[in-house]
Structures are given as C-alpha cells and as structure tokens.
Structure 1
Amino acid sequence: MRPQNRRRFRRGAAAVVVAAALLAGTVGLSAPAQAADVTDGLALWYKLDATSGTVAVDSSGNGRNGTVNGTAGWSGTGEGLTFNGSDTYIKVPDNIMSGMNSITVSMDVQIDAAQATPYFLYGFGNTSNGAGNGYLFTTGDTFRTAITSGAPSTEQNTRTSTALPRSVWKHVTYTQTGTTGVLYRDGVEVARNTSVTLTPGSIGSGTTTADYIGKSLFTNDKLFKGKMRDFRVYNRALTPAEVLMVSGNTTGIATVTDPSLKIAALIDDADSRITLPMKEGIDLTALAPQFTLAQGSSISPASGTPRDFTNPVTYQVTGSDGTKRTWTVSAQIMRSPVLPGLTADPNIVRFGDTYYIYPTTDGFAGWSGTQFKAYSSKDLVHWTDHGVILDLGPDIGWADSRAWAPTATAKNGKYYLYYSADTSIGVAVSDSPTGPFKDPLGKPLIARGAYAGQMIDPDVFTDDDGQSYLYFGNGHAYVVPLNDDMVSFDASKVTEITPSGYNEGSFVIKRKGTYYLMWSENDTRDENYRVAYATGTSPTGPWTKRGVILEKDLSLGIKGTGHHSVVQVPGTDDWYIAYHRFAIPGGDGTHRETTIDKLTFDTDGLIKKVVPTLSSIDPVSDGTTLPTNTTRSLRSVNFPGRYAVVRSDSLGYLDPVTSSSTTAVKQSATFTVVPGLADGSCYSFRDSSGRYLRHKDFRIRADASNGTALFNKDATYCARPGSATGSVSLESYNYPGRYIRHYNYELRLDTYQDNATFRADSYFTPVSPWA
C-alpha cells in the first residue's frame, strides 16, 4: 500500500549540501542512508512557511524574494500559502529564466475543488495586450507544461490526458534539458516530450517581466485557488532520483531498467504496481531489473537480483525515513503495436486469403496528415507495409489535408476506399486492395455540412443479400444504403441512428442473424475514449444499447482505446478487434498506435468485455494458410487447400481425383518441438476448430528410438522424456515407414511451438477407398 504519511526530509531552516545527494538514487543499499536535500542549482526556493507578511522569502541564497499580492493566507509550516482565487498571487522577480538552457520547476500543490478554468499554477514569460507572448507554464486541467516563444498556437506541450487531482496535496515537477521535457506527479514520470526545441533562457531573449506563481499570463484567465508550498526553480534538470527525493516520495520507484525492455517500465505509483514490457523471445525466468530510488532508500531483494518473472513478484522499498512499501512487479512479452510508427482509426478487413488494415497516418498536429497506407497479413500478426495508396494532395482535387479514418470493401470486381478529408467523406476505387486508388467523382461523396455533425468516419457493411450500407458521422450517426455502383446513394434514404453516448467511429457486423452497431464514446484526446455497442434486427436498427466493451487499463499504460474495427476468421466463430490507443509511452490524441485483441461473445450473443493487452494476439489460421509460430497444417502440395499424400519425386502415382498418372512431388520437412519443450511436450491431431478428426491407421513416432503406436483419436501424444530432438513423424500402419494420405490434420503443440510442417518423402501406391 502507498504510505499515508511521508516524512518530508527536506524540512529545516538550513539544508546540508552533500555531493552524494546529487547522484542518481543508489539501489540495493544494505541499509538506508540519511538523505540530504537537493540544493545544487537552486535559482529560487520559496518554502512558503511564513505566518504573516507580503514577502515570499527566497531560501536559495540568491535574494530573489517574491511579492505576495492580494490576501496572503499564511498558515505556517506544513500547510503553505493559501491562494483565494480572487486576488492572491506571487510576483517573481523579472528575468527568472535568463541564461537557462535547462530548468526544473517543482512544488507541492493542493488545488481547491472550486478552481475555475483556465488557470496557471505558475507562468514565467511576457504578456502583450493581455495575452501571453512567450512563456513557460504548468496547469492542472489538463495536467501539462507548455513552453513557447510566442503565441499559444506554437506551444510545445509535455502533457498528460488527465487533470491533476483536486482537494489533495500533490507534488508537481517539470524538468527540461536538451530536447526533452518531463512532467512528474509525486516524483513519478507521467509525461515526456522529446521534441522540445526552445530553451527557457531563449524566451524574450532572457527578458521576462510577467513571472508569476498562481497567476496566468493571460488577463482573462482565472487566478489559482488552493494551497502551495515548497516552490523551487533550478537552473538544471534534476535526475529522476532527485525528483523522487524532492517530492518526499521516499518509497517510490522512479525508473526501472533492463536491457530486454521493449519500452520504459510502466510505473503505477498509486497502486504500487510496475509492468515490465519485454521484447519477444526473452526468457522471463531470470530477469534482473535495476530500480532507481530516492537517495537513501533501499529495495529488497536487491536491485539487479535475477528472479523468475513468469508470475508477478514483489519487492519492498524502505525509505530513508524508515517507511516501507511493497511493490508488485510483473513482466509481459509486448508484441504490440502491430503496425510500425503512429497510426490510428484502423479498418481491418479480409479480401481473399489476406487480411488488410487501412489506418489514419498519425502524429500530426490537428490530425493534419494527408496520406493513406495499406498493410497486409496472412495471420494478423506479421504485417507488410504496401506504402501510400492515396495521397490527398496529388490524388484528390477537392481536399489536401486531414486524411482520417478510411474503410475498404470489395464489390463488382473492384475495391472501394471510403475516407475522411477536410471533414468531408470521399470514395476512391482500385483494381487492387493495395491501390493505387483513384477518385471517380472529383468531389466528396458526402460534403461538409450536408447533415448535422461532422461528415467523417465512414464504415461500409454488406448484408447477406448483397446490399451495402454506408455508416458515418461525428456527434450524429447516420446510415444509408449504397447504390450498386458503390459511389452514390439516394439522399432521401439517409437515416439518423445516433445511440446514447455516441461520438464517432461507427462499425457494424452481423453474427448469427444479429446486427451489432459499435461506436466510440468521448473525445479521442481523452484517455477515457472507449468502444460501446448496441444490437439490432436490421442494418438500420432499431438499436438496443448494451454497454461498453473496450476501455483503458492504466496499470498497463493503455489509454484512449477506440475507433475500432472487427474481423472474423472465415469458417470459424473467431473474431478480432483492431483499435488505436495512445502510443506507449507518451502518446496522446494525435500520437496513437494500432493494436489487435480478441473479441468474444457469450452464450446469449452479447459481446464480452474486451481485455486490452500489451501482448496482442497469437498468429491465426483458417486452415488455408500456414501461420507462423503456432499451429501448422499438414498440407499436400498436389491438392491445394486439401490434404493428400506426397510421394517420392522419382516415381509416379495415380491421382485419386483425376485417375490419371501424375509425376510425384517430393516434400521434406519435419515436425519439431521447440527446444527446451521436448520433455513432455504434447500434441494432437485436430481440425482448425480444435476438434479431433476421424482417421485410419496412423502411427506417431516421437523420435527414432521411441517406437510407434497406433494413433487414437481421443489421445494426446507427448515427446518421450529425455528425447534429444523432440521430433515426431507420421507413418502408415499398413505400410510401415511410409507416409499415407490424410485430410485436414493439424499438429498442435502449445502456444509457443514452432516449426511444425509435413514430412513426406516415401512412395505409396494409392488404394480405394481413401479414408
């Protein structure tokens, strides 16, 4: 549990400066050491612990006393200065950031529940004609820090997607050095921007005359209402360990490092949980992560101790003040995002034997991207980038920006791409699912302003009778049947179907006679962006809302889960949901990434809550493809899509289908158990739905010395303990040592198996009947 009372070891009239305090937190100490305060680089330090007066005393020794304006609500040591939200603020001496290439601003703050917005916790910079003109500030709604050399439109933000909690004390720190700004809450990083191009000292060329605590640089903004204490400015960026130390979070963990981490560890300080997202192929049984703590704190087991992370493990951190806290640390193999870079609004669809994703190209301010790309996969895991398939600039004459939310479908031997551009909906046509796509209309299919709300986020659903329907809208949801040409519709048939909570991103599927309308709720910039759904009896409703099926999981750093699409594996009841989330780490509403998870139904046909994961899914197969790293199918090269005997290439045979003599084709491969899993690894023959199949006279051989046994459809076969190779082979009972014809068999090991393909290199004369 998180300690309720954290002794703030920096209190006292005089701080002792010790060089060791400036080092990153040493981990795994045999005993806690007395921590000294961090005073190196202090440019200003207002403890705000006076009992009266109008002076905010600078304890840094630099003589930068501040002036308290309005009503000064002093409360003495512990509770700081109360700002009444009406006239209280502190004027900091001019030019506080002059000469600074790096900076740290740190404070304890308690925001009053009645705080009006917008407001600044502090703002250093200049004001022109009542507006900020170059400044650095932090605010709590949404919790962010911004720096700019001019107007708000040029702000470079280090931001979270949530508000800083009110009515409780929180510690806030912002550090900036080089191109990186980092925002911390209670000593733990919550946001990072690695593209900061301004230095604090460059604002106003070092001259800043509107430097305030509790007051915005915009005259129409609200004053701060709440309490503040221990306000500091450093002329350098504190290390993560120093930030923990200054925050008083003595049992916190600032960072976790391990060479096998795929991204930075996900630290949930509130619940004392850490998730380690690991690269694929990593052995979780002997990880040795390193922990960064506050100076003087220790951890047990010691940092760097190898441990088995197959299941979550616990650590105990002892603060320099003797406070103890237990942390739960888990490791997960992270296979997401499934597409490279920043993408959003993924539309997943299957054409032929291939899956495709058509996403928004993300990462642009104001969602101002101009290009659409296509990605393809045989197994929903390994994706091929086919490059740009439509570029608004050269390919579309009526729009050149804000390329969003495409959706694709096939009909009439053509492929149709519907998309949002400049808040209108267009359509493009191609002979290939990977383009190039061309504009057949020379104008929007649905122009901006045609109906209430934004004309964005198209989705196409084709019913069993061949009728296609177009769904679209933001704020309002609409549906209209498409004409057979797929590029026109009867405007009189446009129907509004807006369900409660709807924002955007309509998507429709049909399963067992039931229609499912899904959509995204809240704003895509909100970490609470989520997917809800309704069921209906027709493509146009009426719809019965059922609830939310996909939302954030903060323990895994998963936020903003929405604007999804769903695909079914043909011939199965297996469904998968593709969606975007904030990029991990540091993403937001314009920095998103695409992932895929499983979507399932209960016995009543209702959608179960989707579990968002970092690991995503295993490769899938519908029996017509050979997926990678999971179940492999036994396939004949002579009968594509069917399973038949394969014979020696030196002999001919009688084709049982055509009754003609055919030259045989030789195929040589083996079933192989993953190294390390040979002892006791089990496998069985099943169809693509997992059912055991009927068959005759098969024997299974675990390895060359294990003999053979008649195959039993109800049995599971395991590699002989101690097997050197773990190899197995199929052989005929009637023709010992030879390989017999068979249909639709798969070799299944476990979720980690690899390299299971058919070995067939012997001659066999076909007999009838084949069974």
Structure 2
Amino acid sequence: MDSVRLQGRRRLRAGALAAVAIASLFMGVVSPAAPAQAADITDGLALWYKLDATSGTVAADASGNGRNGTVNGTATWSGAGEGLTFDGSSTYVKVPDNIMSGMNSITVSMDVQIDAAQATPYFLYGFGNTAGGAGNGYLFTTGDSFRTAITSGSWSSEQNTRLSTALQRSVWKHVTYTQTGTTGVLYEDGREVARNTSVTVTPGSIGSGTTTANYIGKSLFSADKLFKGKMRDFRVYNRALASGEVLELSGNTAGVAKVTHPALKIDAMVDDANSKITLPLTEGTDLTTLAPQFTLAQGATISPASGAPRDFSEPVTYDVTGSDGKKRTWTVAALVMRSPVLPGLTADPNIVRFGDTFYMYPTTDGFEGWSGTQFKAYSSKDLVHWTDHGVILDLGPDVSWADTRAWAPTMAEKNGKYYFYYSADTNIGVAVSDSPTGPFKDPLGKPLIARGAFSGQMIDPAVFTDDDGQSYLYWGNGWAYAVPLNDDMVSFDASKVTDMTPSGYREGAFVIKRKGVYYFMWSENDTRDENYRVAYATGSSPTGPWTKRGVILEKDLALGIKGPGHHSVVQVPGTDDWYIAYHRFAIPGGDGTHRETTIDRLEFDSAGLIKKVVPTLSSIDPVSVGATLPTHTTRSLQSVNFPGRYAAVHSDSLGYLDPVTSSSTAAVKQNATFTIVPGLADSTCYSFRDSSGRYLRHMDFRVRFDASDGTALFNNDATYCARPGSATGSVSLESYNYPGRYLRHYYYELRIDPYQDNATFRADSSFTAASPWA
C-alpha cells in the first residue's frame, strides 16, 4: 500500500498534487488535430468559438445564437490554426450567463494545447456559480488529472468521469465530454477514455438554470490557477454527440472510435498511436469466427466490412477510409481474457503453496482511503480457478487493537500452524490458525510491530523461509526492513532488525531463493500512479547485501495495464516454473483504490537474472502439481534426524560392497537432490524423477546420487513401500551403479518429512523391519 494513506482525501483542484506529463490511456504523441469545418456537425450547437481571430477582445459565436464571449487579460491571437493563447496569469474568456439553462444533455468540445509550465490546479473551462471564492454547482474539465466533474453543490459532491493520468502537454489534443441520462463520457482525440454511468446531476439543473460564473481558461475556485496554453474550436451542444460524431469532430477521420462484440469481456483496447486494436474476449469464445462491429467517424468506410465473420486465430488487418479520403490500416488481434484471476476488487496479493494447493491472500480493495477491514482467502489447484473461502480475519471483531485499514497480508507455515501477518491501521499484526483458510486468532493482543517502531510505515509484511528452516519477516513503506523470526513465529529480537532499503524502494518487499541466489523484490512509485512497478536485486543471504538489477514489471498502456505492482511469487513444485501475482488498476476505469489481481509467468535467463515480465490480459494456462505434495520439494539427502518424528541416526554397517575386491567399505554421507512428484497408486508413498525428468512409478523410485544414478525403494514414515511380490517391509537396493561401483544386498531407508528441507537416508547390511531404528 502507500504512505499517502495517512493523509485525508483532498480536493484535487486545491491540493498540492504535481502535474505529471505522461501520456494518457493508449496514446502516444500525435500531430495537431485539424478543427472540423462548420458544415460538419452543427445540429444542436449552442455555442461555437472558433477562436481564429487575429485581434480584439471578442470570442465570436459562430453558432448563430449570438453568445459572444469576452476575452479578458492579455489576448494573443494567432489566427486560423493556432487559436487563442492564454498566458496563465491574466487571460480567460467570460461566457454569457445561463449557458446550460434547459439542458438535460450536453457536449463540450475543444482543441487544446496545455503549456508544459501549466501550474496546478486549473480548469480548461468551468460553467456554474461561485460563493465565497469556491465553486457552488458547476461543470468543468481539467487536464490534471484528466477528468470532467459535475455537481449541484460543492467539490465534495462532485460526480467524476475521469482518467487517473494527466492530459499530455505541449501537443494539441482534442477533448470532448458528453452527458445524457446518467452517463458521462470523456473522449481524447475522438476516442472514449472514461465513462461514468452514475451521473445524477443534469447541466440544466445547476443553479436552477442560472449560472453566472461561466469561463474558458478560468476555474470557479479563486485559489486555482488560470489556464496556460492554446485553445481553438470550442463548442457546446445541447445534446450528447454520438461516438462517430466525436471522432469526426476531432479530425481523426480514419480512426476507430470503438469495436463491439457480444463476447467482449471488457471494451476493446484501441491503441490509436500504433493503429492496433485488441479484443479481450470471454473464456470459451471461438476465435475462428468472430464478427466485430466497428464504430467509425461519420462518412468513413472499412474493409473487410464491419460485422463480417473473420478468423482471428491470427491478427486481422482492416483498412479505414475517412470521409475526407484519409486512409489508415489497423491491426486487430483477439485474445481470451482470463484476468483478473480473483473476483471483484483486490490488491497486494500474497500467493503461497501448501501441499498440492495454492492460496492467495489479498487486500480487499475499492474503499475510499483504503479503509477496508476484512481479509479473505482463496485457493486453487491450478492457479487459474480459485475458490473463495470467505473472510478469515475481520479487524473489528477479531483484533482488539485496530479496526480499519486492513492491507497487504502474507502467510507462512511452521510445525503444522499457519501464521497470518497483516497491516492494520499502519501497524503489523500476526494471527494464528490450524488451517490456511482460518479461522485466525490474535495470539498477542497487540501489534507485532507497532506504528512508529521504526522509520517509515509499518505495513506490507512478507515472510521467507530459508533452506535451514529459519523464517525472516520483511516489511516497510519508505524503508525496507528484515529480521529473523523466533521459532514461535510471533516474536523476534529487535536488535537483529536490518535496514536494507535499496534505491527507488517504496513498499511491497518480497524475497525468494533459487539455485542458491536470493532475490529481493519491491514496488516503486505510488500505488495510485500508473508508473507503479516492480524492481529487484540479488544477494547472497536473506538480508543482503543486495545488488540492484532493475525493473521487471511495469505498465503496458496499449493493453490498458496500469500500475502493476505489489506482487508475490510462487514456484510450481518439481519444476523451475515460477509465477508472479500482482495487482493493477482495474480494467476499465480503475485507479489506486480500485485494483484487481492477476498472474503472469516469471522467468530467469541463463545467468540467473529475472527476465522482464510480460503483463498480459490472458494471464496463464492451468498448471498441475498433483496431490499431497510437501510444502518444500527440493531436499538435501543427508543422514539427519527430525526430533519428534524419527528415531536417532545409526551409523553401524553403513557402506557399500566393492564388486572387484568383495570388500565392504564405509559409506560417506552423500549430499544430493531429488524432486517429489505425484502419481503413485499407493498414497502413502512418493515417487521421484531424476535430473533428466524420467519418472519411476509403482513403488520403484529413483534418487540421483552425485554424478551417477542409483535406484532404491524407500519407506515413507512407518509404512514400507515394497516391490510387488516382495515381503512387506523389505526395502532392497539391487545392483545399481554408485560412483563406479555396485551396491548389492543392502537395505536402505529413505524417509521424507513434508515440513522440513531434509530427508533421512540410512544403509545397513543386516536391516530388517525389526531393526532398532526402523
């Protein structure tokens, strides 16, 4: 989550948010839009300022309605093409009173070029009334963040149609807002970029039709800044223009306004800058026979025809010809959209595997100021289909010391207990259960890490357990901390806390280990920023030192993917397949409090560095981990003991038989690795595969010893898995190669503890089921 959570929500017009000169959704830099001609779309015009004069203080109304405006301050006229320049300190246009009187629907449209030095907050235009230097019922559009708002009263009751990003500066952009019924739509360069279907205030109802503070280039709040930049072709209609009309008005005559199809999961992604369209479709859609419908500018044509069936197994190209003869080729691709993977609004997902099941623990999202109180659990056998287990911890009734701001949990297991670490009111708590799906109880009655205990915010816990069984807790916003947890998992030695904050760190620490290398990952920037992203470093221990490697996950505006971050990573047992769960802005219309969870692949290169993650809408295919797998699947083959589960190690008669000399030689404890895989009919036993991926089933098991292969039977816990036809409890190693020698007629035992990282391996020439250590 984010440090600004401690701050109250403030009016963006009067707040201190800096303008961000970044491209809006699906856009790159475009050439100046050409103003539409007067004959193009005149039906319903209530006011039309071409702003193409060369001098004077009058904004002439070309609609024929006589609503001339008055230009105040320094007016720099550029004639046709460049419009009126506003200096940011004195220039604005006063529009006649009552401009919206009687309007139940409206369209406001203009070409605008925002100066790079524009101060914030500001309005492009504002129609309404003021009282005491503040707006009191109004309609306005601003480029920072790009939005249109309407209210019958103060800023606190605004109904917004908005993007989360700023309108690009220093280039001409065409901006249109339409409203009819309960729907407001915001357009950029002729394409819809935001929609609000819950608008209840009509333009004509503001001030009961009386509005005396109607301005272009000036806010209705006296503390706000004046507009700095250029404007031309400013229009107001008493109706909501259709999307094709808006596209024509923008000058993008060969553009595509939108694409529709009954199987679309969300609106089609129109990447105008690159002439590409993506069709995100629901699961089960047949891509070989799709007939999408295209909305074009007035008078434009398309080939192949709109609505004609096509095979979209591969991208299809379409040619659009505008009414003015402009031509453009579009590439249209279809995909099955399997994200988000969790229902509704969720964020900060922690993904973990226990046995043969994956679990996900997210923040419940969608609350103003991140004020949620409940945590839920989800489970899956394949990372694709998830079961909702409901609320597992509720701050109100379940936690005595906090009742709001439930964020960013993580889960760990030890000795059959499950430990749930979470953020609550900017403290970190811990809860315990006998099940990964709860119910969970607070064992401390207080935070594990209290607010103010260290610099930064005490939020975003994560747990990593190393091969030796030691668990580490990570946390922090602004600062990144790590500490070894005590064996009880609910306490630690504060003197062992390590500050390991890397450059660019914001929050969301997470650690994994692969092939002896530790990977420390985190999120950068603000969770409300579309540039929220994931970076990482590598190190030789769970607490560093760390070498920063770079960014591995970031936005893809062509697919509408914004703010991907606060992630976690899981490995599929028995493989080198890794997956990353993360949140992004909800699609469409999401922001920093309306996010959704998805999963994509995470891969490593030959040097062990993490490849750049490709964020997708299609997510991943189902994976399989079989049944009843231990939590940790890579084991070190050693003569070791697990107190409370297995008897002590015996060293008598350990050895092998030299087939050349027929002499018995003492065996050396071998360090090797193996991987547990599913597939046995006998559920009390495991089967193995060797390093080449070969499987042995039906109670034959292969264990790779050092550089050579050896095959042995083994027993799991107290039940022997015997070769068919042999005596129950007899475990025989028969004539298999071991570093150049053969082992004959020796009995071996291999026991797997599913909660530890080691296995017991023993050999005894006189072993029987009645052996003292059996």
TM norm structure 2: 0.78
1:407 to 405, 410, 414: 410
Paired residue for 1:19? Answer: none
| 1:260 partnered with 2:277 | no
Post-superposition Cα deviations, 1:86-120, rounded to whole Å, max 9, x if no partner, equal: 10001122232333333221110011122122211
**In 1, distance between residues paired with 2:382 and 2:453?**
40
Deviations for 1:460-493, whole angstroms, at most 9, x for unmatched residues? 1122222222111111111122222222223333
User: Does 2:72 match 1:46?
Assistant: no
Asked whether the 8 Å contact 1:360–1:406 carries over to 2, the reply is yes
Could you tell me how far 1:5 is from its partner in structure 2? 7.0
Provide the C-alpha distance between the structure 2 equivalents of 1:2 and 1:548, rounded to a whole number of angstroms.
22
Match of 1:72 among 64, 75, 93: 75
Report whether the alignment pairs 1:171 with 2:192: no
Deviation at 1:582, TM superposition (A): 1.0
Tell me the CA shift for residue 355 of structure 1: 0.7
CA distance 1:229–1:394, change in 2 (3 Å):
same
Per-residue CA shift, 1:617-657, capped at 9, x if unaligned?
A: 1111124379xxxxxx99565546668xxxxxxxxxxxxxx
Shift of 1:332: 0.8
Find the aligned partners of 1:84 and 1:246 in 2 and give their Cα distance.
26
Instruction: Please report the RMSD computed on the Cα atoms of aligned residues, expressed in angstroms.
Output: 2.7
- Asked if 1:428 is matched to 2:454, the reply is no
CA drift of 1:363 comes to 1.2
What's the offset of the Cα at 1:210? 2.0
Query: 1:16-36, CA deviations, whole angstroms, 9 ceiling, x for partnerless residues?
Result: xxxxxxxxxxxxxxxxxxxxx
Pairs within 5 Å for 1:127-142? 127-142=130-145
The match for 2:185 is 182
Equivalent residue, structure 1, for 2:122? 119
Q: Name the aligned partner's letter for residue 214 of structure 1.
A: G
In structure 2, the CA distance between the partners of 1:144 and 1:95, relative to structure 1 (3 Å rule), is same
Q: What SS does the corresponding residue of 1:376 show, helix, strand or coil? A: strand
1:665-680 alignment, distance < 5 Å? none
Amino acid at match of 2:529: D
State the one-letter code of the partner of 1:162. T
The answer to whether the aligner puts 1:221 opposite 2:247 as a matched pair is no
Of the structure 1 ranges 387-396 and 501-510, higher mean CA displacement relative to structure 2 is found in 387-396
Are the structure 2 counterparts of residues 343 and 54 from structure 1 closer, same or farther at C-alpha, using a change threshold of 3 Å?
same
Whether the 8 Å contact between 2:269 and 2:558 is mirrored in structure 1 is yes
Residue 679 of structure 1 corresponds to: none
Q: CA 1:6 to 1:450, structure 2 compared with 1: closer, same or farther past 3 Å?
A: closer
The separation in 2 between residues aligned to 1:423 and 1:133, in whole angstroms, is 36
Q: Offset of 1:586 from its aligned partner?
A: 1.6
Distance change in 2, residues 1:634/1:402 (3 Å): closer
Which range moves more in the overlay, 298-307 or 486-495?
Answer: 486-495
- 2:247 match: secondary structure: helix
Query: Do the aligned residues in 2 keep the contact of 1:120 with 1:224 (CA within 8 Å)?
Result: yes
Distance 1:317 1:339, change over 3 A: same
TM-score normalised by length of structure 1: 0.78
Return the offset for 1:2.
10
Structure 1 residues 396 and 247: alpha-carbon distance in aligned structure 2, compared to 1, 3 A threshold: same
Unaligned runs of 5+ in 1: 16-36, 627-632, 644-685, 696-739, 745-764
1:561-640 matches, cutoff 5 A = 561-624=564-627, 635=679, 637-639=681-683
SS at match of 1:285: coil
CA distance in structure 2 between the partners assigned to 1:638 and 1:106 by the alignment: 72
Cα distance, 1:59 vs. partner? 2.3
Match of 1:533 in 2: 536
Aligned partners of 2:232, 2:65: CA distance in 1, in Å? 19
C-alpha distance in 2 between matches for 1:355 and 1:133? 53
CA shift for structure 1 position 150: 3.5
Question: Which amino acid is 1:276 matched to?
Answer: L
Give the distance between the partners of 1:589 and 1:261, measured in 2 at CA. 25
User: Residues of 2 paired with 1:430 and 1:413: CA distance?
Assistant: 9
- Rounded Cα–Cα distance in structure 1 between residues aligned with 2:287 and 2:144: 40
| Alpha-carbon distance change, 129 to 5 in structure 1, aligned in 2, over 3 angstroms | closer
Cα offset for 1:147? 2.5
Say which is worse superposed, 260-269 or 430-439, in terms of deviation: 430-439
Inter-partner Cα distance in structure 2 for 1:149 and 1:426 = 43
CA contact (8 A) 1:336 1:614 kept: yes
How many residue pairs get aligned? The number is 636
Q: 1:183 touches 1:190 (CA, 8 Å); kept in 2?
A: yes
Q: How does 1:82-161 map to 2 (within 5 A)?
A: 82-161=85-164
Give yes or no for contact 1:49–1:77 (8 Å, CA) kept in 2.
yes
1:129-528 matches, within 5 Å, as 129-528=132-531
What's the counterpart of residue 548 of structure 1? Answer: 551
Cα–Cα, structure 1 residues 219 and 309, in superposed 2: closer, same or farther, change >3 Å?
Answer: same
**In the aligned structure 2, how far is the partner of 1:543 from the partner of 1:408?**
24
Q: Residues 5 and 380 of structure 1: is their aligned pair in 2 closer, same or farther, counting only changes over 3 Å?
A: closer
Is 1:10 the equivalent of 2:36?
yes
Measure how far apart 1:60 and its partner are. 2.4
SS in 2 for 1:284: coil
Q: Answer whether contact 2:400 2:445 (CA < 8 A) is retained.
A: yes
> Which amino acid counterpart does residue 10 of structure 1 have in structure 2?
A
Q: 1:229 to 1:573 in 2, by over 3 A?
A: same
- The residue type equivalent to 1:430 in the other structure is S
Q: Distance in 2 between matches of 1:416 and 1:116?
A: 49
* Separation (CA, whole Å) in 1 of partners of 2:206 and 2:402: 37
Partner SS, residue 226 of structure 1 = strand
User: Partners in 2 of 1:228 and 1:270 — Cα distance?
Assistant: 22
Q: Per-residue CA shift, 1:191-219, capped at 9, x if unaligned?
A: 22333333333434433332211011222
Whole-Å separation in 2 of the counterparts to 1:170 and 1:371: 43
Cα displacement (A) at 1:458? 1.0
Paired amino acid for 1:11: Q
Q: 1:98 to 1:9 in 2, by over 3 A?
A: closer
Query: Which residue in the other structure is 1:760 paired with?
Result: none
Post-superposition offset of 1:557: 1.4
Distance 1:113 1:542, change over 3 A: same
Q: Is the contact made by 1:371 and 1:403 (CA closer than 8 Å) also made in structure 2?
A: yes
Q: Percent identity?
A: 81
| Structure 1 Cα separation of the partners of residues 395 and 448 of structure 2 | 15
What is aligned with 1:691? 693
Deviation at 1:766? 6.4
**SS of alignment partner, residue 288 of structure 2:** helix
Whether the 8 Å contact between 1:94 and 1:207 is mirrored in structure 2 is yes
Change (3 A) 1:67 1:569: same
Amino acid at match of 2:474: Y
d(CA) in 2 for partners of 1:689, 1:105: 67
| Structure 2 unpaired stretches of 5+ | 1-26, 630-676, 703-722, 727-731, 735-774
Q: 1:445 to 1:194 in 2, by over 3 A?
A: farther
How far is the alpha carbon of 1:426 from its aligned partner?
1.8
Whole-angstrom distance in 1 between the partners of 2:105 and 2:441: 50
> Contact conserved, 2:626 with 2:678, CA < 8 A, in 1?
no
SS in 1 for 2:274: coil
